[in-house]
Structure 1
Amino acid sequence: MKIEIWSDVMCPFCYIGKRNFETALEQFEHKNELEVVWKSYQLDSNIPEEPKDSYQDYLVKNKGMSQEQVKGMLDNVTLSAKQVGLEYNFDKAVMVNSLNAHKFIQFAKTKGLGDQAEEKLFLAFFTEGKNIADIDTLVQIGKELELGEAEVKAALNDEKFVSLFKQDIQEARELGVQGVPFFVLDRKYGVSGAQPPQAFLENLEVAFDEWRKLNPETKLEVTQGQSCSPDGTCE
Protein backbone atom coordinates (compact mmCIF):
# COMPACT_ATOMS: atom_id res chain seq x y z
CA MET A 1 0.00 0.00 0.00
CA LYS A 2 1.36 3.38 -0.97
CA ILE A 3 1.75 6.24 1.50
CA GLU A 4 2.65 9.67 0.11
CA ILE A 5 4.01 12.40 2.37
CA TRP A 6 4.05 16.04 1.27
CA SER A 7 6.72 17.96 3.14
CA ASP A 8 9.07 20.94 3.10
CA VAL A 9 12.44 20.39 4.78
CA MET A 10 12.20 23.85 6.37
CA CYS A 11 8.91 22.99 8.10
CA PRO A 12 9.50 22.18 11.79
CA PHE A 13 6.34 20.11 12.11
CA CYS A 14 7.33 18.01 9.09
CA TYR A 15 10.36 16.65 10.95
CA ILE A 16 8.28 16.03 14.08
CA GLY A 17 5.59 14.40 11.95
CA LYS A 18 8.20 12.15 10.36
CA ARG A 19 9.32 10.93 13.77
CA ASN A 20 5.75 10.31 14.97
CA PHE A 21 4.93 8.47 11.77
CA GLU A 22 8.04 6.31 12.15
CA THR A 23 7.01 5.48 15.71
CA ALA A 24 3.61 4.38 14.40
CA LEU A 25 5.27 2.24 11.72
CA GLU A 26 7.29 0.40 14.37
CA GLN A 27 3.99 -0.74 15.91
CA PHE A 28 2.28 -1.56 12.60
CA GLU A 29 2.43 -5.27 11.87
CA HIS A 30 2.17 -4.86 8.10
CA LYS A 31 4.87 -2.21 7.72
CA ASN A 32 6.81 -4.36 5.25
CA GLU A 33 3.87 -4.13 2.86
CA LEU A 34 3.96 -0.32 2.73
CA GLU A 35 5.62 1.87 0.13
CA VAL A 36 6.44 5.32 1.52
CA VAL A 37 6.95 8.07 -1.06
CA TRP A 38 8.13 11.57 -0.12
CA LYS A 39 6.61 14.46 -2.07
CA SER A 40 7.85 18.02 -2.41
CA TYR A 41 5.99 21.04 -1.06
CA GLN A 42 7.37 24.56 -0.79
CA LEU A 43 5.99 26.82 1.91
CA ASP A 44 7.59 29.99 0.57
CA SER A 45 9.10 30.23 -2.91
CA ASN A 46 10.11 33.87 -2.35
CA ILE A 47 12.87 33.21 0.17
CA PRO A 48 16.19 34.16 -1.49
CA GLU A 49 18.87 31.56 -2.20
CA GLU A 50 21.41 33.59 -0.25
CA PRO A 51 20.95 33.85 3.54
CA LYS A 52 19.38 37.14 4.61
CA ASP A 53 17.24 36.77 7.73
CA SER A 54 17.40 34.56 10.80
CA TYR A 55 14.49 32.15 11.27
CA GLN A 56 13.03 34.41 13.95
CA ASP A 57 13.43 37.63 11.92
CA TYR A 58 11.90 35.94 8.88
CA LEU A 59 8.76 35.07 10.87
CA VAL A 60 8.54 38.56 12.35
CA LYS A 61 8.71 40.14 8.88
CA ASN A 62 6.40 37.72 7.11
CA LYS A 63 3.85 36.66 9.73
CA GLY A 64 3.09 39.97 11.38
CA MET A 65 4.14 38.73 14.80
CA SER A 66 6.26 40.43 17.43
CA GLN A 67 9.73 39.21 18.41
CA GLU A 68 8.29 38.02 21.74
CA GLN A 69 5.48 36.09 20.06
CA VAL A 70 7.85 34.42 17.62
CA LYS A 71 10.32 33.51 20.34
CA GLY A 72 7.55 31.96 22.42
CA MET A 73 6.30 29.99 19.42
CA LEU A 74 9.77 28.71 18.54
CA ASP A 75 10.41 27.75 22.16
CA ASN A 76 7.21 25.67 22.11
CA VAL A 77 8.15 24.00 18.83
CA THR A 78 11.64 23.26 20.17
CA LEU A 79 10.06 21.57 23.18
CA SER A 80 7.73 19.53 20.97
CA ALA A 81 10.74 18.41 18.92
CA LYS A 82 12.67 17.46 22.04
CA GLN A 83 9.78 15.25 23.16
CA VAL A 84 10.27 13.08 20.08
CA GLY A 85 14.07 13.04 20.36
CA LEU A 86 14.92 15.90 17.99
CA GLU A 87 17.20 18.85 18.66
CA TYR A 88 16.11 22.14 17.09
CA ASN A 89 18.49 25.10 16.98
CA PHE A 90 16.46 27.90 15.42
CA ASP A 91 19.16 30.41 16.32
CA LYS A 92 21.50 28.57 13.91
CA ALA A 93 18.98 27.86 11.13
CA VAL A 94 19.94 29.36 7.74
CA MET A 95 16.84 30.71 5.99
CA VAL A 96 17.25 30.06 2.27
CA ASN A 97 15.08 28.95 -0.62
CA SER A 98 14.39 25.20 -0.40
CA LEU A 99 14.26 24.54 -4.18
CA ASN A 100 17.77 23.06 -4.39
CA ALA A 101 17.01 20.80 -1.44
CA HIS A 102 13.87 19.57 -3.19
CA LYS A 103 15.78 18.91 -6.40
CA PHE A 104 18.24 16.88 -4.34
CA ILE A 105 15.37 14.89 -2.81
CA GLN A 106 13.84 14.24 -6.23
CA PHE A 107 17.20 12.93 -7.43
CA ALA A 108 17.69 10.82 -4.30
CA LYS A 109 14.27 9.25 -4.86
CA THR A 110 15.47 7.87 -8.20
CA LYS A 111 18.15 6.03 -6.23
CA GLY A 112 15.72 4.68 -3.63
CA LEU A 113 17.05 7.16 -1.05
CA GLY A 114 14.12 9.54 -0.61
CA ASP A 115 13.61 8.87 3.08
CA GLN A 116 17.32 9.08 3.85
CA ALA A 117 17.61 12.38 1.95
CA GLU A 118 14.70 13.87 3.89
CA GLU A 119 16.27 12.83 7.18
CA LYS A 120 19.68 14.27 6.29
CA LEU A 121 18.19 17.59 5.14
CA PHE A 122 15.99 17.97 8.20
CA LEU A 123 19.01 17.34 10.41
CA ALA A 124 21.15 19.76 8.41
CA PHE A 125 18.60 22.55 8.61
CA PHE A 126 17.12 22.26 12.09
CA THR A 127 20.02 20.85 14.11
CA GLU A 128 23.29 21.58 12.36
CA GLY A 129 22.52 25.04 10.97
CA LYS A 130 23.70 24.20 7.46
CA ASN A 131 22.79 26.08 4.27
CA ILE A 132 20.55 23.60 2.42
CA ALA A 133 20.60 25.72 -0.76
CA ASP A 134 24.40 25.54 -0.97
CA ILE A 135 25.75 23.16 -3.60
CA ASP A 136 28.72 22.08 -1.47
CA THR A 137 26.38 21.25 1.42
CA LEU A 138 24.20 19.11 -0.82
CA VAL A 139 27.23 17.40 -2.34
CA GLN A 140 28.45 16.52 1.17
CA ILE A 141 25.03 15.14 2.11
CA GLY A 142 25.09 13.19 -1.13
CA LYS A 143 28.44 11.66 -0.20
CA GLU A 144 26.98 10.57 3.13
CA LEU A 145 24.34 8.74 1.10
CA GLU A 146 27.05 7.28 -1.17
CA LEU A 147 26.07 9.50 -4.10
CA GLY A 148 28.87 10.83 -6.28
CA GLU A 149 29.75 14.51 -6.39
CA ALA A 150 29.43 14.72 -10.17
CA GLU A 151 26.00 13.10 -10.26
CA VAL A 152 24.67 15.34 -7.48
CA LYS A 153 25.88 18.48 -9.26
CA ALA A 154 24.43 17.25 -12.55
CA ALA A 155 21.07 16.56 -10.89
CA LEU A 156 20.93 20.04 -9.39
CA ASN A 157 21.30 21.46 -12.90
CA ASP A 158 18.82 19.05 -14.50
CA GLU A 159 15.42 20.56 -15.30
CA LYS A 160 13.90 17.10 -14.98
CA PHE A 161 14.10 17.36 -11.21
CA VAL A 162 12.54 20.82 -11.23
CA SER A 163 9.66 19.32 -13.24
CA LEU A 164 9.22 16.52 -10.72
CA PHE A 165 9.23 19.10 -7.91
CA LYS A 166 6.52 21.12 -9.67
CA GLN A 167 4.54 17.97 -10.39
CA ASP A 168 4.41 17.14 -6.67
CA ILE A 169 3.18 20.64 -5.86
CA GLN A 170 0.49 20.44 -8.56
CA GLU A 171 -0.67 17.10 -7.15
CA ALA A 172 -0.90 18.68 -3.71
CA ARG A 173 -3.14 21.43 -5.09
CA GLU A 174 -5.37 18.87 -6.78
CA LEU A 175 -5.71 16.94 -3.52
CA GLY A 176 -6.50 20.11 -1.58
CA VAL A 177 -3.33 20.11 0.51
CA GLN A 178 -3.08 23.48 2.26
CA GLY A 179 -0.27 22.80 4.70
CA VAL A 180 2.38 20.27 5.57
CA PRO A 181 3.13 17.68 6.67
CA PHE A 182 0.31 15.95 4.82
CA PHE A 183 0.08 12.16 4.64
CA VAL A 184 -2.03 10.42 2.00
CA LEU A 185 -2.81 6.75 2.56
CA ASP A 186 -3.70 4.74 -0.55
CA ARG A 187 -5.14 7.93 -2.10
CA LYS A 188 -8.17 7.45 0.15
CA TYR A 189 -7.28 8.93 3.51
CA GLY A 190 -5.47 12.13 4.39
CA VAL A 191 -3.75 12.89 7.69
CA SER A 192 -2.79 16.52 8.18
CA GLY A 193 -0.11 17.75 10.54
CA ALA A 194 2.30 16.20 13.02
CA GLN A 195 -0.27 13.89 14.57
CA PRO A 196 0.65 11.69 17.54
CA PRO A 197 1.78 8.14 16.70
CA GLN A 198 -1.52 6.61 17.80
CA ALA A 199 -3.45 8.73 15.29
CA PHE A 200 -1.15 7.60 12.49
CA LEU A 201 -1.46 3.98 13.61
CA GLU A 202 -5.26 4.08 13.66
CA ASN A 203 -5.41 5.56 10.18
CA LEU A 204 -2.88 3.03 8.89
CA GLU A 205 -4.95 0.15 10.20
CA VAL A 206 -8.17 1.41 8.62
CA ALA A 207 -6.55 2.16 5.26
CA PHE A 208 -4.62 -1.11 5.18
CA ASP A 209 -7.67 -3.23 6.02
CA GLU A 210 -9.49 -1.72 3.05
CA TRP A 211 -6.46 -2.12 0.81
CA ARG A 212 -6.01 -5.77 1.86
CA LYS A 213 -9.59 -6.63 0.87
CA LEU A 214 -8.82 -5.44 -2.65
CA ASN A 215 -5.32 -6.94 -2.67
CA PRO A 216 -5.54 -10.31 -0.90
CA GLU A 217 -2.40 -12.20 -0.01
CA THR A 218 -1.42 -15.00 -2.35
CA LYS A 219 -0.52 -18.09 -0.37
CA LEU A 220 0.79 -21.08 -2.27
CA GLU A 221 0.82 -24.70 -1.20
CA VAL A 222 4.45 -25.57 -1.90
CA THR A 223 5.89 -29.01 -2.65
CA GLN A 224 9.52 -28.83 -1.57
CA GLY A 225 12.40 -30.17 -3.65
CA GLN A 226 16.13 -29.59 -3.95
CA SER A 227 16.87 -25.93 -4.69
CA CYS A 228 19.34 -23.07 -4.25
CA SER A 229 18.68 -19.98 -2.14
CA PRO A 230 19.95 -16.41 -2.70
CA ASP A 231 22.54 -16.86 0.05
CA GLY A 232 24.28 -19.49 -2.06
CA THR A 233 23.05 -22.53 -0.16
CA CYS A 234 22.07 -25.45 -2.39
CA GLU A 235 20.45 -28.48 -0.83
Structure 2
Amino acid sequence: MTDPIRIDVWSDIACPWCYIGKRNLENGLAAVAAEDDPPAVEVTYHSYELSPDTPVDFDGDEIDFLSGHKGMPREQVEQMLDRVTQVAAEAGLEYHFEHVRHTNTVKAHELLHAAKAAGRQHEMAERLMSAYFVEGAHVGRIDGLVDLAAEVGLDRDEIRQALESEQYLPAVREDQAQAQSYGITGVPFFVIDGKYGVSGAQPADAFAQITRQVWAERTPAAVATSD
Protein backbone atom coordinates (compact mmCIF):
# COMPACT_ATOMS: atom_id res chain seq x y z
CA MET A 1 0.00 0.00 0.00
CA THR A 2 1.32 3.44 -0.94
CA ASP A 3 2.34 5.62 2.01
CA PRO A 4 0.16 8.69 2.57
CA ILE A 5 1.15 12.06 1.16
CA ARG A 6 2.56 14.12 4.01
CA ILE A 7 1.49 17.75 4.23
CA ASP A 8 3.31 19.81 6.84
CA VAL A 9 1.68 23.17 7.57
CA TRP A 10 3.44 26.04 9.31
CA SER A 11 0.91 28.51 10.70
CA ASP A 12 0.02 30.78 13.59
CA ILE A 13 -3.25 30.79 15.53
CA ALA A 14 -3.46 34.59 15.14
CA CYS A 15 -2.88 34.58 11.37
CA PRO A 16 -6.12 35.19 9.43
CA TRP A 17 -4.67 33.80 6.21
CA CYS A 18 -3.66 30.62 8.05
CA TYR A 19 -7.26 29.81 8.96
CA ILE A 20 -8.32 30.53 5.38
CA GLY A 21 -5.49 28.35 4.10
CA LYS A 22 -6.47 25.59 6.51
CA ARG A 23 -10.05 25.61 5.26
CA ASN A 24 -9.00 25.76 1.58
CA LEU A 25 -6.65 22.83 2.13
CA GLU A 26 -9.44 20.83 3.75
CA ASN A 27 -11.84 21.65 0.93
CA GLY A 28 -9.25 20.72 -1.69
CA LEU A 29 -8.53 17.40 0.01
CA ALA A 30 -12.26 16.70 0.33
CA ALA A 31 -12.61 17.17 -3.44
CA VAL A 32 -9.89 14.66 -4.32
CA ALA A 33 -11.15 12.23 -1.66
CA ALA A 34 -14.36 11.87 -3.67
CA GLU A 35 -12.49 10.84 -6.84
CA ASP A 36 -11.43 7.40 -8.07
CA ASP A 37 -8.17 6.24 -6.46
CA PRO A 38 -8.28 8.94 -3.79
CA PRO A 39 -4.88 9.78 -2.29
CA ALA A 40 -4.12 9.04 1.33
CA VAL A 41 -3.02 12.25 3.05
CA GLU A 42 -1.55 12.99 6.46
CA VAL A 43 -1.64 16.64 7.59
CA THR A 44 0.49 17.92 10.48
CA TYR A 45 0.45 21.46 11.85
CA HIS A 46 3.65 23.17 12.95
CA SER A 47 4.31 26.26 15.05
CA TYR A 48 5.19 29.69 13.71
CA GLU A 49 4.86 32.90 15.74
CA LEU A 50 4.24 35.97 13.62
CA SER A 51 4.68 38.35 16.56
CA PRO A 52 6.49 36.59 19.41
CA ASP A 53 7.02 39.88 21.26
CA THR A 54 3.26 40.49 21.62
CA PRO A 55 2.13 40.68 25.27
CA VAL A 56 -0.41 38.18 26.56
CA ASP A 57 -2.80 41.04 27.25
CA PHE A 58 -2.52 43.56 24.44
CA ASP A 59 -4.11 46.92 25.22
CA GLY A 60 -6.11 47.69 22.10
CA ASP A 61 -8.04 46.13 19.25
CA GLU A 62 -6.82 44.42 16.09
CA ILE A 63 -6.65 47.72 14.22
CA ASP A 64 -4.50 49.23 16.99
CA PHE A 65 -2.15 46.26 16.82
CA LEU A 66 -1.76 46.23 13.05
CA SER A 67 -1.43 50.01 12.88
CA GLY A 68 1.45 49.86 15.33
CA HIS A 69 3.00 46.65 14.08
CA LYS A 70 2.90 47.48 10.38
CA GLY A 71 2.99 51.27 10.63
CA MET A 72 -0.20 51.59 8.60
CA PRO A 73 -2.96 54.23 8.99
CA ARG A 74 -6.11 52.93 10.71
CA GLU A 75 -8.19 53.51 7.60
CA GLN A 76 -5.85 51.38 5.51
CA VAL A 77 -5.90 48.63 8.15
CA GLU A 78 -9.71 48.69 8.19
CA GLN A 79 -9.79 48.26 4.40
CA MET A 80 -7.32 45.39 4.65
CA LEU A 81 -9.39 43.63 7.31
CA ASP A 82 -12.56 44.10 5.27
CA ARG A 83 -10.83 42.38 2.36
CA VAL A 84 -9.62 39.51 4.52
CA THR A 85 -13.12 39.11 5.96
CA GLN A 86 -14.50 38.83 2.43
CA VAL A 87 -11.93 36.20 1.42
CA ALA A 88 -12.64 34.28 4.63
CA ALA A 89 -16.36 34.31 3.83
CA GLU A 90 -15.61 32.81 0.41
CA ALA A 91 -13.86 29.97 2.25
CA GLY A 92 -16.89 29.50 4.51
CA LEU A 93 -15.50 31.35 7.55
CA GLU A 94 -17.17 34.21 9.43
CA TYR A 95 -14.49 36.52 10.81
CA HIS A 96 -15.23 39.15 13.46
CA PHE A 97 -12.14 41.32 13.73
CA GLU A 98 -14.04 43.78 15.92
CA HIS A 99 -14.03 41.13 18.67
CA VAL A 100 -10.51 39.72 18.18
CA ARG A 101 -8.37 39.87 21.32
CA HIS A 102 -4.79 40.05 20.17
CA THR A 103 -2.38 38.08 22.33
CA ASN A 104 0.85 36.13 22.44
CA THR A 105 0.27 32.69 20.87
CA VAL A 106 3.14 30.61 22.25
CA LYS A 107 0.90 28.85 24.80
CA ALA A 108 -1.62 28.06 22.07
CA HIS A 109 1.20 26.45 20.10
CA GLU A 110 2.22 24.43 23.12
CA LEU A 111 -1.39 23.27 23.35
CA LEU A 112 -1.36 22.20 19.70
CA HIS A 113 1.63 19.96 20.42
CA ALA A 114 -0.07 18.52 23.49
CA ALA A 115 -3.14 17.83 21.35
CA LYS A 116 -0.95 16.19 18.70
CA ALA A 117 0.44 13.82 21.34
CA ALA A 118 -3.15 12.89 22.21
CA GLY A 119 -4.23 12.45 18.58
CA ARG A 120 -6.44 15.57 18.58
CA GLN A 121 -4.30 18.16 16.80
CA HIS A 122 -6.70 18.82 13.91
CA GLU A 123 -9.65 19.33 16.25
CA MET A 124 -7.55 21.58 18.48
CA ALA A 125 -6.29 23.74 15.60
CA GLU A 126 -9.83 24.26 14.37
CA ARG A 127 -11.12 25.09 17.85
CA LEU A 128 -8.34 27.61 18.54
CA MET A 129 -8.72 29.45 15.24
CA SER A 130 -12.49 29.56 15.51
CA ALA A 131 -12.26 30.82 19.07
CA TYR A 132 -9.87 33.57 18.01
CA PHE A 133 -11.33 34.82 14.73
CA VAL A 134 -15.01 33.97 15.05
CA GLU A 135 -15.78 34.16 18.77
CA GLY A 136 -13.28 36.75 19.99
CA ALA A 137 -12.00 34.44 22.75
CA HIS A 138 -8.70 35.04 24.55
CA VAL A 139 -6.29 32.28 23.47
CA GLY A 140 -3.21 33.45 25.35
CA ARG A 141 -4.05 32.47 28.94
CA ILE A 142 -3.76 28.98 30.36
CA ASP A 143 -7.25 28.94 31.91
CA GLY A 144 -8.93 29.72 28.59
CA LEU A 145 -6.77 27.24 26.71
CA VAL A 146 -7.63 24.48 29.18
CA ASP A 147 -11.33 25.18 28.57
CA LEU A 148 -10.87 24.95 24.80
CA ALA A 149 -8.83 21.77 25.16
CA ALA A 150 -11.60 20.16 27.21
CA GLU A 151 -14.08 20.99 24.45
CA VAL A 152 -12.19 18.72 22.03
CA GLY A 153 -11.94 15.92 24.57
CA LEU A 154 -8.54 16.53 26.14
CA ASP A 155 -7.96 16.02 29.86
CA ARG A 156 -8.07 19.30 31.76
CA ASP A 157 -5.52 18.40 34.41
CA GLU A 158 -3.04 16.94 31.93
CA ILE A 159 -3.26 19.99 29.67
CA ARG A 160 -2.91 22.43 32.56
CA GLN A 161 0.16 20.59 33.83
CA ALA A 162 1.67 20.52 30.33
CA LEU A 163 1.13 24.25 29.80
CA GLU A 164 2.29 25.32 33.24
CA SER A 165 5.47 23.21 32.98
CA GLU A 166 6.14 24.28 29.37
CA GLN A 167 6.43 20.59 28.51
CA TYR A 168 5.89 21.20 24.80
CA LEU A 169 7.79 24.48 24.44
CA PRO A 170 10.87 22.63 23.05
CA ALA A 171 8.64 21.15 20.33
CA VAL A 172 7.41 24.66 19.45
CA ARG A 173 10.99 25.89 19.18
CA GLU A 174 11.93 22.87 17.07
CA ASP A 175 9.15 23.72 14.60
CA GLN A 176 10.36 27.30 14.43
CA ALA A 177 13.94 26.19 13.83
CA GLN A 178 12.74 23.91 11.04
CA ALA A 179 10.85 26.80 9.46
CA GLN A 180 14.00 28.89 9.57
CA SER A 181 16.03 26.13 7.94
CA TYR A 182 13.44 25.93 5.14
CA GLY A 183 13.66 29.68 4.67
CA ILE A 184 10.02 30.23 5.67
CA THR A 185 9.43 33.91 6.38
CA GLY A 186 5.62 34.01 6.30
CA VAL A 187 2.66 31.77 6.90
CA PRO A 188 0.72 29.78 6.01
CA PHE A 189 3.39 27.67 4.38
CA PHE A 190 2.75 24.12 3.18
CA VAL A 191 5.44 21.51 2.54
CA ILE A 192 4.04 18.72 0.39
CA ASP A 193 5.76 15.35 0.74
CA GLY A 194 8.96 17.07 1.80
CA LYS A 195 9.69 18.35 -1.70
CA TYR A 196 7.10 20.95 -2.76
CA GLY A 197 6.68 24.27 -0.97
CA VAL A 198 3.39 26.13 -1.27
CA SER A 199 3.19 29.63 0.20
CA GLY A 200 0.02 31.44 1.18
CA ALA A 201 -3.68 30.64 1.42
CA GLN A 202 -4.01 29.09 -2.03
CA PRO A 203 -7.48 28.26 -3.42
CA ALA A 204 -8.93 24.83 -2.72
CA ASP A 205 -8.46 23.87 -6.39
CA ALA A 206 -4.72 24.50 -6.12
CA PHE A 207 -4.41 22.15 -3.16
CA ALA A 208 -6.47 19.53 -4.98
CA GLN A 209 -4.28 19.82 -8.06
CA ILE A 210 -0.95 19.42 -6.30
CA THR A 211 -2.31 16.50 -4.26
CA ARG A 212 -3.37 14.74 -7.47
CA GLN A 213 0.02 15.47 -9.01
CA VAL A 214 1.99 14.04 -6.09
CA TRP A 215 -0.25 10.97 -5.93
CA ALA A 216 0.14 10.39 -9.67
CA GLU A 217 3.92 10.61 -9.32
CA ARG A 218 3.79 7.85 -6.75
CA THR A 219 1.38 5.54 -8.61
CA PRO A 220 3.79 4.24 -11.32
CA ALA A 221 6.37 3.38 -8.66
CA ALA A 222 3.75 1.57 -6.61
CA VAL A 223 2.57 -0.42 -9.65
CA ALA A 224 6.12 -1.30 -10.67
CA THR A 225 6.90 -2.51 -7.18
CA SER A 226 3.82 -4.73 -7.10
CA ASP A 227 4.79 -6.25 -10.48
TM-score (ref. length: structure 2): 0.91
> Matches of 1:67 and 1:37 in 2, distance apart?
36
Q: Would you say the 8 A contact 1:186–1:211 is kept in 2?
A: no
- Against the structure 1 CA distance between its residues 217 and 93, is the aligned structure 2 distance closer, same or farther, given a 3 Å change threshold? farther
Q: SS where residue 19 of structure 1 aligns?
A: helix
Q: Would you say the 8 A contact 1:25–1:31 is kept in 2?
A: no
- Against the structure 1 CA distance between its residues 217 and 99, is the aligned structure 2 distance closer, same or farther, given a 3 Å change threshold? farther
- Quote the residue 1:9 is aligned against: 13
- Quote the residue 2:139 is aligned against: 132
- Quote the residue 1:50 is aligned against: 57
Q: SS where residue 38 of structure 1 aligns?
A: strand
- Quote the residue 2:173 is aligned against: 166
Q: Where do 5+ consecutive residues of structure 1 fail to align? A: 220-235
Identity %: 39
Does 2:25 correspond to 1:21? yes
Does 2:63 correspond to 1:59? no
- Against the structure 1 CA distance between its residues 214 and 160, is the aligned structure 2 distance closer, same or farther, given a 3 Å change threshold? farther
Higher CA-based Rg: 1
User: Counterpart of 1:12 in structure 2: which amino acid?
Assistant: P
Q: Would you say the 8 A contact 1:42–1:98 is kept in 2?
A: yes
What do residues 137-175 of structure 1 show as CA deviations (whole Å, max 9, x unaligned)?
Answer: 111111111112101101102333000000001111111
Q: Would you say the 8 A contact 2:32–2:38 is kept in 1?
A: yes
Runs of 4+ in 1 over 3 A off after TM superposition: 29-32, 211-219
- Quote the residue 1:190 is aligned against: 197
Q: Where do 5+ consecutive residues of structure 2 fail to align? A: none
> Matches of 1:155 and 1:217 in 2, distance apart?
47
The number of aligned residues is 220
- Quote the residue 1:122 is aligned against: 129
Q: Would you say the 8 A contact 2:85–2:94 is kept in 1?
A: yes
- Against the structure 1 CA distance between its residues 211 and 59, is the aligned structure 2 distance closer, same or farther, given a 3 Å change threshold? same
Q: Would you say the 8 A contact 2:110–2:166 is kept in 1?
A: no
Q: Would you say the 8 A contact 1:189–1:207 is kept in 2?
A: no
- Against the structure 1 CA distance between its residues 127 and 217, is the aligned structure 2 distance closer, same or farther, given a 3 Å change threshold? farther
Q: SS where residue 99 of structure 2 aligns?
A: coil
Offset of residue 85 of structure 1: 1.3
Q: SS where residue 17 of structure 2 aligns?
A: helix
TM-score (ref. length: structure 1): 0.88
- Against the structure 1 CA distance between its residues 198 and 170, is the aligned structure 2 distance closer, same or farther, given a 3 Å change threshold? same
Q: Would you say the 8 A contact 2:11–2:187 is kept in 1?
A: yes
